[in-house]
Amino acid sequence: MANWVGATGNWGIAANWSPATVPNGALADANINNGGTAALTGGQAFTVATLEITATSFVSIGDNSALTVATSIYNAGTILIGNSGNIAGLNIAGGSTVTLSGGGTIVMGGSTANDYIRDAAASTGKLINVDNLIQGVGHVGNGQLAFDNQAHGVINANIAGGALTVQPNSAGLTNHGILEATIGGNLVISGASLGQFGNSGGQILASGANSVVDLLGGVTVAGGLLNGSGGGVITTVGGGSATLDGSTQGAVTIAGAFVVNDNSSLQLKGTVSITGNLLVNSLGNFADLRIADGTTLTGGGSITLGAQLDNRLFGLSVCPMSS
């Protein structure tokens, strides 16, 4: 085990570690436990098997740099991922399953969206988030990582006007915790890599004014709660589609504000409880709400077809009806 003994300093300097050897390799273990900051900068790339960060301690992954972990991350402190134009990444070693625990925070706070959490080598790794908060802007998965967000795990797009995109690989994402947009942030939930979002027992939230959760890329969300509240809204994106599946992982609940935007479509199947308002909102192109055979709608909420004639509500095997 290499223990950090520096204050704020460069990961690649041996004198910052005890023993005085830079941890780098598939069998290396790194422990930052003195309240200091171990920083990767300027194109540096290191690999460890395990990473431990105690409360008040930091790891900083800067512009054009990457830290790869092969086995586990115990983070009770803070991991900062912060690009200034080039990619900055926390990588899962190729094909590995890594557990993230410790109740700490990962801050994705670069000046552009080039902050990544992914398996950059093989695109088949998996991250199990037991209890960390992952927040900011950038990319979680990038189509290169399976993801298990457990009951105390949170992913929060919380930078106003900034986008945090969650896109698992084809193995998908399981959410028993919270995926959310707050403080005017934009959480993008993408199925572009054919990964399903299993949301049984989980929550997908857009909370507060101008906070938006976008569903796109043909994503399927199975089970759980979707809630737009306090001026926040969950939407389908123009040119895209999404499915809410209330059949394979229990019922889906739509609370608060949900909008099917112009030139997009939403499919409902299984048991879908609508307790809020589902607005189908064409602005001149078709906006489609498609109901699969055998779907049960409950909850006492409302489906509103907007003012345009191109809002359509129909079953998948029949011709559409316009509002």
Q: Which domain holds residue 200?
A: 153-322
Residue 302 lies in a domain: yes
pLDDT at residue 317, as a whole number: 63
- Enumerate residues 6+ apart whose C-beta is below 8 A from 318: none
In a domain, 57, yes or no: no
For residue 27, being part of any structural domain is answered with no
> What pLDDT band is residue 130 in, cutting at 50, 70 and 90?
very high
Total structural domains in the chain? 1
Average pLDDT of the chain, as a whole number: 96
Tell me, yes or no, whether 63 lies in a domain: no
d(CA 176, CA 74): 20
107 within domain boundaries? no
pLDDT at 153 over 90: yes
Asked if the structure places residue 219 within a domain, the reply is yes
pTM of the model: 0.96
Q: Is the pLDDT of residue 322 over 70?
A: no
Mean pLDDT, range 85-98, rounded to an integer? 97
225/164 Cα distance (integer angstroms): 20
Q: Is residue 217 part of a domain?
A: yes
Q: pLDDT at residue 110 above 90?
A: no
Residue 188 lies in a domain: yes
pLDDT at 319 over 80: no
Residue 28: is its pLDDT beyond 60? yes
